[in-house]
Amino acid sequence: MGEIVYRLAELAERIEGELRGDGEINITGVGHLEDANEGEITFADGPRVQSLADSSRASALIVPPDVEVRHKPFIVTEDPRLAFSKVLELFAPDRHPGPGVHPTAVVGHNVTLGGNVSVGAHAYVGDGAIVGDGSVIHPLAYVGPETVIGSDCAVHPQVYIGPRTQIGDRVIIHAGASVGADGFGYLQTTEGHRKIPQIGTVIVDDDVEIGANSTIDRATVAATRIGAGTKIDDQVHVAHNVVLGRNCLLCGQVGIAGSTTIGNNVVMGGQAGVNDHVEIGDNVIVAARASVFGNLNEPGIYSGYPAGPHQQQLRSIAHMRRLPRLMDRIKELEQTVEELRARLSESEQ
């Protein structure tokens, strides 16, 4: 692949920014503000990085209106991070493999492959599966029988997609993820733990991204559902029968127990956990490592163990930190009371 080169004026047009300075310089890559090299473009997102913007070795910068770059050309935009993400897309290498089925792949009976589908080496596509136009099944991936995968999806190596799973369009499933494995369902009997068959499915709507080594379990009889536009980080667990709304963000190592319902635009910080059969409403933010045991119906930020409104939790933490001083004060007061009692007893005698 040849080197990717854009004129700065062309980049400004692509990201709908205002060019300041020489638009004819060539940009050959992207870098961080601190370590970008000549020929690269980077971004600065506020006046606090003014000094870094001035000293950066980058050939050009993307900045907000309140940052002025003195010694090099720059592009002004209201949202430098968004603009920079668009530039990253322009410089990202095209890793889309060519269409076709690798000779070592196994494709079952009655499989339907759309146009420009790629099935990589040693991948498996089960009987009756449907793969939409432009989708890529990377090497060593497993697609179960009767699974439906939409258009322009990417199923990365070592992914497991269980039978009868339904995947929408433009879904990305990263390496090692499992979508549609059995849910954790058992009955405790006198003879041991009796497995409850998990015969439901998983439905993943359009534009979802599922991180590496994450697991989304199939429902017992109905469907575990991931809403459109939701993004799931690495090593996240979504248990059976969970219904997750649209445009949610689940950060690393989040765990959601079974039969929980989560609304739209919910954000869950790293290692947050949710108990089973809980309802979380729209526009809720659950802070990192918070533990949700009951319903959260009102929009807002929740934190702590058990999770509660964030400002209340901060006050509780402040009170907890005062406890040692309060205990010392109580001991002083007890000693004072004892001394007063002793004096009173002496005066009565």
Phi, psi of 348 (to 5 degrees): -70, -25
Q: CA quadruple 78, 81, 85, 90: dihedral positive or negative? A: positive
**Residues paired with 20 in a beta bridge:** 74
User: What does each C-alpha distance from 341 to 194, 327, 328, 344 come to in angstroms?
Assistant: 67, 21, 20, 5
Phi, psi of 15 (to 5 degrees): -100, 5
**Tens digit of each residue's pLDDT, the chain (349 residues):** 457 889 999 999 999 999 998 889 999 999 888 888 899 999 888 776 777 777 888 899 999 888 878 888 999 999 989 999 999 989 887 778 889 999 999 999 999 999 999 999 999 999 999 999 999 999 999 999 999 999 999 999 999 999 999 999 999 999 999 999 999 999 999 999 999 999 999 999 999 999 999 999 999 999 999 999 999 999 999 999 999 999 999 999 999 999 999 999 999 999 999 999 999 999 999 999 999 999 999 999 999 889 888 888 888 878 788 888 888 888 889 888 888 888 887 777 6
Instruction: Give pLDDT, residue 244.
Output: 97
Complete edge-to-edge strand list for the sheet that includes strand 106-107: 106-107, 124-125, 142-143, 160-161, 178-181, 215-217, 237-238, 255-256, 273-274, 291-292
Phi, psi of 324 (to 5 degrees): -55, -45
Instruction: Give pLDDT, residue 325.
Output: 87
The bridge status of strand 255-256 relative to strand 237-238 is parallel
What is the C-alpha separation between 7 and 5, in angstroms, rounded? 7
What is the C-alpha separation between 189 and 296, in angstroms, rounded? 34
Tokens 């992207």 correspond to 30
The tokens for 2 are: 């040849």
What is the C-alpha separation between 50 and 59, in angstroms, rounded? 16
Domain positions in the chain: 6-91, 100-309, 319-349
Name all contacts of 270-274 with Cβ < 8 Å and 24+ positions apart: 270/233
Class of domain 6-91: alpha beta
What is the C-alpha separation between 33 and 12, in angstroms, rounded? 18
Q: Which numeric CATH code is attached to 100-309?
A: 2.160.10.10
The tokens for 182 are: 């059995």
Instruction: Give pLDDT, residue 349.
Output: 66
The active-site residue, picked from 240, 277, 310, 319, is 240
What is the C-alpha separation between 45 and 48, in angstroms, rounded? 8
User: What does each C-alpha distance from 182 to 44, 239, 247 come to in angstroms?
Assistant: 46, 9, 25
What is the C-alpha separation between 172 and 159, in angstroms, rounded? 11
Phi, psi of 326 (to 5 degrees): -65, -40
**Residues paired with 172 in a beta bridge:** 154, 209
Phi, psi of 310 (to 5 degrees): -60, -45
Q: Would the pTM count as exceeding 0.75?
A: yes
Is 240 among the catalytic positions? yes
Three-state SS at 52: helix
Instruction: Give pLDDT, residue 171.
Output: 98
Phi-psi region of 117 (alpha: psi -120 to 50; beta: other; left: phi over 0): beta
Tokens 């913007």 correspond to 53
- Residue 159 in contact with residue 175, Cβ under 8 Å? yes
DSSP 286: E
Residue 290, CA atoms < 13 Å, CB-side half-sphere: 24
